[in-house]
Chain A
């Protein structure tokens, strides 16, 4: 466990050195957030509330949909894949930490830096220009904290699995791009899942995608209350465990057939 935290610390420091790149993305995220707000407000028109979301809720949703992009690596994550293609994975496998835990540690650092530099800052920027809603009680903040961590774990499990495709195919990048792209739609980052037709919402229940993003949003906005919050958190936890277990199993199979290029 000590090794894990050491790795996390290193990763955090490493990503912190790229802060210029993280900050540069802020302006674009902010701008797209404003456009998303305008589109949702135009859809609402005179309606105060649709499918349980008020106007203030969807404004906050738009802000969060931009704030969490970096934290959850929503637009894609190819680090593990790249290490397979460059052969770096060879030395990573020698580290005193299983490969999955090694990448998990790396991702904790990456997620934290992105959460602080992009997530928090962008919410502050939005707070200056629009009216955002916030959880009202300490307990709801605690729920938000839990759902943020679990959502990140589910997202990591998914991203890890997608990257493992590189052990089998030399062109996993294209597949990855497709997978991450579809995920933005299915996890509710493009539109709140509540607005989708019922049949689609029904289907999405059986996928891990809403647990990455949409659940976090619903708990933050308070659209889920009472026991529903705990059920949603449990759902996230089960998806996280499931994906990580599958990832571990696929990884074992993958490493067995790994051929490291180079001389």
Chain B
């Protein structure tokens, strides 16, 4: 394990050095990354003056939810880049994945180290900025318990979406191409939980409660942080299962991943 970690850090170092070679290009990429979040949030924030609330939530409360999700998704997108199905599918198609199989090293760790997209810092930074902007609009009664729990919520989302990336990557063992439907759960899921869950139609909310339990990752913790009542009357523990949901999703995906590796057949001839 220690050896695998050393290798991971080495691979990471290589990634970082190569990405920082073209400083200007890197800078542009970071700016473009953060603009995605900025423009999307701005389009919502700018129309708030006409509407005042989003399903009863003020701009500050929505920004809290939105920033927290984007921050976490950005971290995940950076750390789990190697498993990004659209990237990993290419690796399978080109046969580059076979190279990793030949090395006497932990496979999962190698995929982790195969890509680390540093420009996602733009996304993370803008997510953080939106989250901090929320603090200027609303007064959150922070308690030590809340402050302590906050990183666990981020951790839960990173694990959860990382798990979805791993599951999507595993599917490409069979399909070769990354399957587009996965985007509904990864990017769609992210966008979904960046807004208050009670605004969605019942079937959609149930789907993301019972089938994909994303409701517990961001919405329920936010209810706790913002002292808002639970419109669905879940048990009082609901806001606190976020890290557990994340870890379970990640573990299930890793099990699926190991299962997939056993059945992997190269695309070569």
- Looking at B102-110, B140-148, B197-205, B229-237, the stretch in contact with chain A turns out to be B197-205
Using Cβ atoms and an 8 Å threshold, which residues of chain A touch B22?
171
From the candidates A28, A38, A50, A181, name the one contacting B201 in the complex (CB within 8 A).
Answer: A38
- Assess whether A41 is interfacial by the CB under 8 Å rule: yes
- Assess whether A138 is interfacial by the CB under 8 Å rule: no
- Contact B51 A50, beta carbon cutoff 8 Å: yes
- Assess whether B24 is interfacial by the CB under 8 Å rule: yes
- Contact B43 A185, beta carbon cutoff 8 Å: yes
- Looking at A96-104, A188-196, A242-250, the stretch in contact with chain B turns out to be A188-196
- Contact A38 B200, beta carbon cutoff 8 Å: yes
- CB proximity to B under 8 Å, residues A20-46: 24-25, 27-28, 31-32, 34-35, 38-39, 41-45
Using Cβ atoms and an 8 Å threshold, which residues of chain B touch A174?
25, 28-29, 32
- Contact A191 B44, beta carbon cutoff 8 Å: yes
From the candidates A47, A190, A196, A200, name the one contacting B39 in the complex (CB within 8 A).
Answer: A190
Using Cβ atoms and an 8 Å threshold, which residues of chain B touch A43?
47, 51, 53-55
- Assess whether B251 is interfacial by the CB under 8 Å rule: no
Q: Mark A177-193, 1 if CB is under 8 A from B, else 0.
A: 11001101100001100
- Contact B46 A28, beta carbon cutoff 8 Å: no
- Contact B32 A178, beta carbon cutoff 8 Å: yes
Alpha-carbon distance A175/B24, docked complex (angstroms): 11
- Assess whether B192 is interfacial by the CB under 8 Å rule: yes
From the candidates B32, B35, B199, name the one contacting A39 in the complex (CB within 8 A).
Answer: B199
- Assess whether A197 is interfacial by the CB under 8 Å rule: yes
Chain B min CB distance to A180 (Å) = 10
Chain B min CB distance to A59 (Å) = 12
Q: Which residue of A lies closest to B53 (CB)?
A: A45
- Contact A32 B191, beta carbon cutoff 8 Å: yes
- Contact A177 B180, beta carbon cutoff 8 Å: no
Using Cβ atoms and an 8 Å threshold, which residues of chain A touch B53?
43, 45
Chain A min CB distance to B208 (Å) = 11
Using Cβ atoms and an 8 Å threshold, which residues of chain B touch A94?
none
- Contact B46 A39, beta carbon cutoff 8 Å: no
Alpha-carbon distance A28/B182, docked complex (angstroms): 9
- Contact A32 B40, beta carbon cutoff 8 Å: no
Using Cβ atoms and an 8 Å threshold, which residues of chain A touch B191?
32, 35
Known: A31-B184, A39-B199. A191 touches B47 (CB 8 A): yes
- Contact A38 B183, beta carbon cutoff 8 Å: no
From the candidates B36, B46, B195, B204, name the one contacting A197 in the complex (CB within 8 A).
Answer: B46
- Assess whether B16 is interfacial by the CB under 8 Å rule: no
- Assess whether A139 is interfacial by the CB under 8 Å rule: no
- Assess whether A51 is interfacial by the CB under 8 Å rule: yes
Chain B min CB distance to A76 (Å) = 11
Using Cβ atoms and an 8 Å threshold, which residues of chain B touch A39?
44, 54, 195, 199
Q: Which residue of A lies closest to B178 (CB)?
A: A24
- Assess whether B129 is interfacial by the CB under 8 Å rule: no
Q: Mark B80-122, 1 if CB is under 8 A from A, else 0.
A: 0000000000000000000000000000000000000000000
- Contact B51 A181, beta carbon cutoff 8 Å: no
- Contact B199 A38, beta carbon cutoff 8 Å: yes
Alpha-carbon distance A50/B51, docked complex (angstroms): 8
- Assess whether B211 is interfacial by the CB under 8 Å rule: no
- Contact A27 B32, beta carbon cutoff 8 Å: no
Using Cβ atoms and an 8 Å threshold, which residues of chain A touch B28?
171, 174-175, 178
- Assess whether B14 is interfacial by the CB under 8 Å rule: no
Using Cβ atoms and an 8 Å threshold, which residues of chain B touch A28?
180-181, 183-184, 187-188
Using Cβ atoms and an 8 Å threshold, which residues of chain B touch A197?
46, 49
- Assess whether B252 is interfacial by the CB under 8 Å rule: no
Alpha-carbon distance A41/B56, docked complex (angstroms): 12
Alpha-carbon distance A31/B32, docked complex (angstroms): 24
Known: A171-B24, A178-B35. A24 touches B50 (CB 8 A): no
Q: A47-B51, A171-B24 are in contact. List 17 more A-B contacts (CB 8 A).
A: A27-B181, A28-B188, A31-B184, A32-B191, A38-B200, A39-B44, A43-B54, A45-B55, A50-B51, A171-B22, A171-B25, A171-B28, A184-B39, A185-B42, A191-B47, A197-B49, A200-B46
Residues of B within 8 A of A (CB): 22, 24-25, 28-29, 31-32, 35-36, 39-40, 42-44, 46-47, 49-51, 53-55, 179-181, 183-184, 187-188, 191-192, 195-196, 199-201, 204
Q: List 6 A-B pairs, Cβ < 8 Å.
A: A27-B184, A42-B54, A44-B51, A45-B55, A171-B28, A178-B28
